[in-house]
Structure 1
């Protein structure tokens, strides 16, 4: 695994959409039920039932996306006690109307943990600003959403009977990475490689993003679920390919940018370094 830190690629405009997406994802995560328990290390049954009900309402579920079949009984967020099975989450008829199509959009702003959130936002911050600079604010926002939908439905087609909630911005961000690979393959990217401690390296984007995509493709050939402890790698693959295809027509108009001189690990080097 590699950790991107900075790309040697200036932008001409302020990436307002990228900043807004990051802020929205962080704010939604802070108000998700069960967050206080996850931070404190307490995963009480009441919090888990509340979170399960929240995800059932706002997360994308592959079976609902493909078959348009909403469950008749859903978690209510309350705790129930069964004399034989013990305590569990109470289920009942849904007290809301859910649109499977709209759930793909809401699911793009939900994350399962701080690590899930921060990892996604790091990739979006580093690579999203340049794609927004190339596409413009409005087209970039539409591009982001389209890639997220492509990733979700691509995963759902391959797992049409799955009832596990699909959450996270990974599919949309994978589309951003795919577009970056097409438009700026030779731009240098600083990464940290966990070797003993962390080894800083500066590699071309095609190597960094190609390696990332290769890992997702390998992992997607195995278990690729989206519930706790697992990752929807197939959604990453679909989102990445969608981003490449959408960005490909723009490639002739995107010459290789001049690399700023005197750059050392994302900062301008001092004389003599």
Structure 2
């Protein structure tokens, strides 16, 4: 797996929407229960509060497809029963819209690595897509890709009650658009080979390899946590992003490639014979 750190693809203006999305994701994550445990708060209490929070704001495939909300949900409180302490289950004290939950779920993440990974890809590749589409169209594009990824995953897992969270589907759409519009742009990546080796690779190779991994993992091959990562949502979001960006390809200016750079150093010119 390669880690992108920078692309050689300048933008004409400030990507305000990209910055805003990153800021919103960070703020929401910091506000989620359990991110910062209160003094004296038990681990079980944090878990119960998080479950209650996700049941309210996360997208659940069974709710999206069947439009049926559960009659009992975690309330966020802890009680001690015959089997020991556990989360209190009760009737939901809120009205939840399954359709709206797809949008709110795009700003929820399951941990720091989940958040930082998504925001890294959005920062590197989102600015150029926003620059090409414009602020408003890019925001709409991002939301549409997120919805397509969420519903695509839900249709294939219609009976699942596990919450679907994360910006991965929408960010995958950004990657798909980047592959269509800027396939020859150079991307600096770190390749773990004994040490992190910096390489400048074409975007089609970096993003094509990423998509191939998601497609393989979505089938359950080569990965042990296929049940906890919505790889199918990544695949759907990526493909939708490619389709939506395709009409913009003819008018897209290819990015300049800095001459003479090799692995971060300027290559020496060859001596004439």
Query: What CA distance in whole angstroms lies between the structure 2 residues aligned with 1:258 and 1:47?
Result: 50
Alignment correspondent of 1:95:
93
Deviation at 1:260, TM superposition (A): 3.4
Aligned residue for 2:17? Answer: 17
Structure 2 equivalent of residue 31 of structure 1: 31
| Displacement after TM superposition at 1:37 (Å) | 3.7
Distance 1:262 1:117 in 2: 35
- 1:258 Cα deviation from its structure 2 partner: 2.2
In structure 1, how many angstroms separate the alpha carbons of the residues matched to 2:189 and 2:66?
A: 42
Tell me, what secondary structure is at the counterpart of 1:161? coil
Partner of 1:62 in structure 2? Answer: 61
User: For 1:26 and 1:132, how far apart are their aligned partners in 2?
Assistant: 20
Match of 1:104, SS? helix
How far does the alpha carbon of each residue in 1:194-233 deviate from its partner, in whole angstroms, 9 at most, with x for none? 111201111100000000000000000018xxx9982100
Matched with 2:50 is 51
Superposition deviation, residue 114 in structure 1: 0.4
1:123 equivalent in structure 2: 121
Deviation larger for 249-258 or 123-132: 249-258
User: How far apart, CA to CA, are the structure 2 residues paired with 1:175 and 1:228?
Assistant: 20
**Residue 232 of structure 1 aligns with which residue?**
230
For residues 104 and 19 of structure 1, the distance between their equivalents in structure 2, rounded to whole angstroms, comes to 21
Q: Deviations over 1:130-189 (max 9, x none)?
A: 000000000000000000000000000000000000000000000000000000001110
* 1:265 Cα deviation from its structure 2 partner: 6.4
Gaps of 5+ in 1: none
Assess, with a 3 A threshold, how the Cα gap between structure 1 residues 165 and 265 changes in structure 2: closer, same or farther.
farther
How many angstroms apart in 1 are the aligned matches of 2:191 and 2:267? 27
Report the TM-score, using the length of structure 2 for normalisation.
0.92
Correspondences of 1:161-240 after superposition (within 5 Å): 161-222=159-220, 230-240=228-238
What residue in structure 2 maps to residue 76 of structure 1?
75
What is the CA deviation profile of residues 35-85 of structure 1, one whole-angstrom value per residue up to 9, with x for unaligned ones?
A: 1149x9x970000000000000000000000000100001000012221x2
> Please, which moves more after superposition, 73-82 or 132-141?
73-82
214-223 vs 153-162, which moves further: 214-223
**Pairing 1:7–2:10 present:** no
Counterparts of 2:42 and 2:242 in 1: how far apart (Å)?
40
Q: List per-residue Cα deviations over 1:79-100 (Å, max 9, x = no partner).
A: 12221x2111111000000000
TM-superposed CA distance for 1:101, in Å, is 0.4
The offset of 1:253, in angstroms, is: 1.1
Go from structure 1 to structure 2 and tell me whether the alpha carbon gap of 1:44 and 1:138 turns closer, same or farther (over 3 Å shift): same
> Secondary structure of 1:111's match?
coil
RMSD of equivalent CA atoms: 2.3
In the alignment, the residues of structure 1 paired with residue 157 and residue 65 of structure 2 have an alpha-carbon distance, to the nearest angstrom, of 9
Match of 2:84 in 1: 86
Matches within 5 A, 1:243-262: 243-261=241-259
For 1:76 and 1:272, locate their aligned partners in 2 and report how far apart those are by CA, in whole Å: 66
**Structure 2 unaligned regions, length at least 5:** none
Partners of 1:18 and 1:265 in 2: how far apart?
A: 28
Asked if the contact 2:217–2:226 (Cα under 8 Å) also holds between the matched residues in 1, the reply is: no
TM-score (norm 1): 0.92
> Aligned with 1:185: secondary structure?
coil
